[in-house]
A = this chain, B = another copy of it.
């Protein structure tokens, strides 16, 4: 599969394609045209064909895509088969909500452990995942390769926790702290979920209607 440098906008759309194809496969859809897929995603067919062309040849002119095949190919592009691992920094309510309800494995990640400083949490398990003390992080990492750290610590603890993850050599940080992380090592990818940005976009949309 040929790979060019891919734009951030394409990287954002790939997971949406994957999600929609997963839904379609579950509903028993076997084949789909790029225009039908596009319509269901508020995109154009040529946009989808162009995005996918970054990664090689998909589908057959005039016959559309085989849903299962395209889904599998996008899964591979997204790295779902790489055996990625994750740990969670911060086993408070947000951390616990992710451990209990978020399907890490469906997204190609094995969740190994959570870390916290709260003595009421350390030593317990949440949905089978052990909660270890922050101080055990480096020892744990020496024994278990960690692909990414999920950051669900309180805002004031974000910078220090991110720094520790970077020094451990993680490849990525999934940042839920609603704060901007400055990570000097550009080989560590930071993906932030900004709740504010999302709510403000909604605020704009409902204000526009008034």
* Contact (Cβ within 8 A) B199 A174: yes
* Contact (Cβ within 8 A) A205 B109: no
Residue of B nearest to A20 (CB): B180
- Residue A23 at the B interface, CB < 8 A? yes
Contact of A172 among B106, B109, B191, B206 (CB under 8 A): B206
Q: Mark A128-159, 1 if CB is under 8 A from B, else 0.
A: 00000000000000000001100000100000
Task: List chain B residues, Cβ under 8 A from A79.
Answer: 203-204, 206-208, 210
Task: List chain B residues, Cβ under 8 A from A78.
Answer: 200, 203-204, 207
* Contact (Cβ within 8 A) A197 B12: yes
Q: Mark A2-16, 1 if CB is under 8 A from B, else 0.
A: 010010100110111
* Contact (Cβ within 8 A) A204 B11: yes
Task: List chain B residues, Cβ under 8 A from A98.
Answer: 195
- Residue A93 at the B interface, CB < 8 A? yes
Task: List chain B residues, Cβ under 8 A from A19.
Answer: 194, 196-197
Q: Mark A180-210, 1 if CB is under 8 A from B, else 0.
A: 1000000101010111111111111111111
Task: List chain B residues, Cβ under 8 A from A82.
Answer: 203, 207, 210
Q: Mark A43-80, 1 if CB is under 8 A from B, else 0.
A: 00000000000000000000000000000000001111
**CB contact under 8 A between A193 and B196, given known A94-B97, A96-B93, A148-B206:** no
* Contact (Cβ within 8 A) B94 A203: no
Q: How far is the CB of A188 from chain B (nearest CB, A)?
A: 9
By Cβ-Cβ distance, the 6 closest A-B pairs, closest first, are A79-B207, A15-B200, A191-B202, A93-B97, A94-B97, A15-B197
Given contacts A3-B208, A94-B94, A191-B205, 17 further A-B contacts (CB under 8 A): A6-B208, A8-B42, A11-B205, A14-B201, A15-B194, A19-B197, A79-B206, A93-B93, A93-B100, A108-B200, A109-B199, A109-B203, A172-B206, A187-B209, A191-B198, A191-B202, A193-B198
